[in-house]
Structure 1
Amino acid sequence: MGQGGHLLLKNKTPYRWKLTHKHSYQMKYWDNSFPSIIEPGSFAHVYIEWTEGTKNKKDDAGEIDYVMEGINASFQIQARAKNGFEINILFKNFHTNQIGNGETIRLGWSHNNSLVFMIAGSNGQFTSLGSRQNANKWMINLNDNKKLNEITIPGSHDTCTYDMSLVNYGYLLNLINIIPTVDPFSLLLKGAISLGGSLAVNRVVAFSQCQEMNLRKQLDRGLRFLDIRLKKEENHLQAYHGGIKIPMTFSQITQTCYEFLKLNSSETIIMSIQNEGDGNKPIGVLVKSEIDANKEKWYVDSSIPRLGNGTNKEDARGKLVLLRRYAQQADETKIGINISDIWPQNTQKENLVNSDNQLFSIQDEYQDYILNKLDHKFLNHVRPFLKETANTLFINFTSGIGTTGGFVFPKTLAKGDESFSTFKGTNQLLFNHLLDKMNGVYGIIPMDFPEYPNDSLIPLIISTNHF
């Protein structure tokens, strides 16, 4: 058998997609895999297989042309094998907010898995999404009246942990004397540090790192929820994960977001801010100082906003939305959507009502997962929260770790480890679950290593929205 996989085609336009041309050379499954019509508001999950193992396997090729009935717009799906198996999309006689007329995007290839391609919107205002593609402006075709609790929003857990460059053994030796002993993650760190030398460094990094994409790439790829953990250091705020210092300040984080929003004013970024220090070093004054210096770039009211068109104070477009996980002092002006007093610690709860009568359901069960039951995170926690409830903002973390019966690192849970298990990762289970979901409102989904599997999970999550 040759290499086989699927291509998910989602038609979220008002036009029928009609197959007008098909051709292949040495493809095992191609010509008859694609439907003749893909109706508006429907999808096709197409099986593709290359002829692998032949002398001329690099000549495998195929083309499928679809035209959007009623307008002079079409696209061609291409199979190419010259430089490795690859599925491409050529745009003909139309453009999207991401791709120009006549341009080709490369979705890549994923053996025994699925690639994703979607077009939404109407003539002159199309949005496209695809595997391995940026999604800078995916919110542009969402209705202005939609509130954030009516949108499916991909995000990152412990957003800034892609840079662990400060972690060395000398740093860890200093750290062991100051981290608390009551916090489970701190206890885990102390156990790792006791290994000594490079073993200690590698173990701490494995437990602490939750991302590989840097902040700007996360935003470019389509993530719109950021999980920011800060500690007060002298007169500034520093990014941390537990006791691990990350080489980014709050000002650097916000500057990256401002620059992104300046270029992509159709978008909004929900920023969850948490005090990763203790109560003796509150962060509220310094957070507010940053916001006050850039008031037009923030939404800091207490209610869940609508997207709007970006011209009004109550609109979220073009702004950062403060989701406040840190407690404010009695003399501070209250700002942001307050979830500091309702956040469930290592558990999940539905129908939580905050101090401003806003409704939330939050799943953040981050430990303790064990090696022979790695699917429990998705089956017992993530999947039950993939549901719609009116007027409720769902926040559904896919992340987690484990220390019982063997170490479960964030990456192990997110993407699996084929060296010792058939478990493909929580991200893959989420991907599989959403493959046949045309539309849905699943809330905020913060993830570890969301580029897995095959840079297709983020566009798939986005594609479930009602465009």
Structure 2
Amino acid sequence: MTDFNKKWMRYIPDHKKLNDLTIPGTHDSGTYPAYASSFLTKCQSMSITEQLNTGIRFLDMRLKSKKVGRYDGSLWVWHGIADMDLSFTDTVLRDCKEFLAKNPSETIFMSVKIEEKKPSSDTIKNFYKDLTQHNIPKYPFLFYTGTKIPKLYETRGKIVLIRRFGLAGNPDIGLNLYDNWPEDGSKKFENNGISYYVQDRFDNWKENVQRKFDNFVQPTMELAAPGSDTIYINFSSGTSGNIFYSKYSPSGIASIVNPFITNYLHDKQKTRFGIMAMDFPNLILGNDLVNRLISCNPFDFIPGNYPRHNDVIELRTRLSLNKCVDVRGNVSTNGTPIIVHDSNDQPNQHWRLIDTGEGDGFFYLKAENTSNSVLDVSGISHEAGAAVILHEKNGGDNQRWKFLKFDDSPYYIIIPKHAQYNKALAINSDSVNNGSAVVILTMTNSLWLEQWSVIRIS
């Protein structure tokens, strides 16, 4: 399957809930139309469709009517006093609907807030009416508006409404994040029987921006990691509080905080971090930040009775689940290097499992672009960093591979028989690009570069 990030929730079991997941998200998701020179206003550079395609599943929408005194039921995206000239009604919701129609396994979690500091009761009533009578009905069956945490099977192909506005006497709707929200801080609270922990310490970050990560973002990630019924929402965003500090604008702060989050995630084992709402997550090259967050989810890639003889699989590195083990150049020559490359659904990325017939759990991995060539450790080497190549099957132990799983991890460690006690299939670097070499490295059972998802093709 190509475009893993567009469909990553497909591999999460239906019974899982929001509080079981790690959700990459964006803060002030609709500010991408703002000019780059608008230091405090622009928090994103990707459109809504681009955000969703890269794997973002939490959207933070700040809305109000387009003009004072105008009433047609439409809602528009604002950031503070800045009009984004972006229609929530006709553009944002349309883009979400089109994405979900193409990717019906996915769920979008959408926070909706009135973009006024202290909206009046009349403003709240009108906003509620606009949302529930003009916007949600325009897209039938698109929204989940229940007040309890749903299971994924209830919300695939839908937007889960997260409410950050008051009701002003109207019936309850959506997951309630309005009551007890911390103003520029962190807080654990309970609404409607649901436990939340929100970290949104955003204002007046100057000079030592690392404190935003050290004192707020990381501690919240550590609280979320053990797992509980609490929904964690962790904003990595921030501002200098002063429009003249472009260095400490949302993009400037993201350029400091986002690498800390990426590095913190380095080789973390199976866990969950809740919703991570970020500014400019695409500042990290290769989409590494979003990819690492996605990989922390409780995936169920393949049945528990794997591996099985004669099945055809893809091997995807945990470091980037969009990338597959690949015979470089789609050739069949002995000695051809094995690399990782963006999934393209071609035979040189498909591997047939052939039982060695000795009852010891080892398999040959035959490349489907060849008649009889398999994954092979070059020169029968035991050295860390030894190349993995394509070679005609000859029965050698350096061509026999076993799939190991530890605890309830969704990922496999794959070991060669000739060096089965201390070596494993791996990427040669934590920085994964098209063409990165596949090698064997000393087995640790913990490094992400030696962890693989197995996805069945047939």
TM-score using structure 2 length: 0.59
Equivalences for residues 178-197 of structure 1 within 5 A: none
In structure 1, what is the equivalent of residue 171 of structure 2?
333
2:276 is aligned with 1:452: no
Q: Quick one: which amino acid aligns to residue 171 of structure 2?
A: T
Deviation at 1:464, TM superposition (A): 1.0
Q: Quick one: which amino acid aligns to residue 8 of structure 2?
A: W
2:237 is aligned with 1:399: yes
Q: Distance in 2 between matches of 1:403 and 1:299?
A: 35
Equivalent of residue 148 in structure 2, options 288, 295, 303: 303
In structure 2, what is the equivalent of residue 275 of structure 1?
114
In structure 2, what is the equivalent of residue 163 of structure 1?
33
In structure 2, what is the equivalent of residue 228 of structure 1?
61
Q: Distance in 1 between matches of 2:85 and 2:95?
A: 14
* Local SS of the residue matching 1:281: helix
Q: Distance in 1 between matches of 2:51 and 2:58?
A: 10
2:99 is aligned with 1:257: no
Q: Distance in 2 between matches of 1:316 and 1:337?
A: 13
In structure 1, what is the equivalent of residue 131 of structure 2?
287
Deviation at 1:328, TM superposition (A): 1.4
Equivalences for residues 33-44 of structure 1 within 5 A: none
Q: Quick one: which amino acid aligns to residue 293 of structure 1?
A: K
Deviation at 1:437, TM superposition (A): 0.9
Deviation at 1:452, TM superposition (A): 1.9
In structure 1, what is the equivalent of residue 14 of structure 2?
144
Q: Quick one: which amino acid aligns to residue 320 of structure 1?
A: I
In structure 2, what is the equivalent of residue 440 of structure 1?
271
Equivalences for residues 40-79 of structure 1 within 5 A: none
Does structure 2 conserve the Cα–Cα contact (< 8 Å) formed by 1:159 and 1:227?
Answer: yes
Deviation at 1:304, TM superposition (A): 1.0
Deviations 1:301-358 (A, max 9, x none): 00111101xxxxxx0111000000011121x2221111111211100012x101x111
In structure 2, what is the equivalent of residue 428 of structure 1?
259
In structure 2, what is the equivalent of residue 247 of structure 1?
85
2:184 is aligned with 1:353: no
Equivalent of residue 215 in structure 1, options 40, 48, 51: 48
Does structure 2 conserve the Cα–Cα contact (< 8 Å) formed by 1:232 and 1:281?
Answer: no
Uncovered stretches (5+) of structure 1, i.e. residues with no partner: 1-95, 100-127, 129-134, 166-200, 309-314, 416-424
In structure 2, what is the equivalent of residue 411 of structure 1?
251
Deviations 1:209-239 (A, max 9, x none): 0001111000000000000000123222111
In structure 2, what is the equivalent of residue 89 of structure 1?
none
Q: Calculate percent identity across the aligned residue pairs.
A: 34
* Local SS of the residue matching 2:49: helix
Does structure 2 conserve the Cα–Cα contact (< 8 Å) formed by 1:159 and 1:215?
Answer: yes
* Local SS of the residue matching 2:141: helix
Deviation at 1:275, TM superposition (A): 0.2
Deviation at 1:406, TM superposition (A): 5.1
Uncovered stretches (5+) of structure 2, i.e. residues with no partner: 300-458
Q: Distance in 2 between matches of 1:162 and 1:376?
A: 26
Does structure 2 conserve the Cα–Cα contact (< 8 Å) formed by 1:154 and 1:458?
Answer: yes
> Superposition RMSD on alpha carbons, in Å?
1.6
Q: Distance in 1 between matches of 2:138 and 2:34?
A: 29
TM-score using structure 1 length: 0.58
Q: Distance in 1 between matches of 2:48 and 2:148?
A: 26
Equivalent of residue 363 in structure 1, options 169, 176, 199: 199
Indicate how the Cα distance of structure 1 residues 347 and 301 shifts in structure 2: closer, same or farther if over 3 A, else same: same
Deviations 1:410-455 (A, max 9, x none): 111101xxxxxxxxx1000000000111311100001000012102
Deviations 1:249-294 (A, max 9, x none): 1212111100000000000000100000332422111111221333
